[in-house]
Homo-oligomer: A and B are copies of this chain.
Amino acid sequence: MRDSVIAELKVIPLVPSATGVSRYIAAVIDVIKKAEGITYQVTPMATIVQGPLTRVLQLAQEMHEVPFTMGAVRVLTSITIDDRRDKYVTMESKVKSVLQ
């Protein structure tokens, strides 16, 4: 699978319940869980995904919409893409290469 990027996706809903954003984030992650063709890993600061670039951007947009459907009026979403086309890497191989 050559057409594959690793990306970090973070959705921050600015909601009245200020500190209790967990249920919003849980709903956002549900969208990732159901996404086909996407490998993912939830970290304490964001969710990291692997898949084709167009698919990842489409997924990010779907995730971004979730808090609005739950009542949020303002959402900040960050997408950071690492796209390497000289060799195929996976989320696991990337971590291994820096830990060894």
Contacts and interface: CB of A to CB of B under 8 A. Distances in A.
Contacts of A81: 64, 75-79
Interface residues of A, number: 52
Interface of A: 6-8, 12, 14-19, 21-22, 25-26, 29, 41-46, 48, 53-54, 57, 60-61, 64, 68, 72-86, 91-92, 94-95, 97-100
Nearest to A73: B86
A27 to B, nearest CB: 9
Given A15-B18, A73-B19, A86-B19, A44 B95 contact: yes
Given A61-B57, A74-B18, A81-B77, A99 B41 contact: no
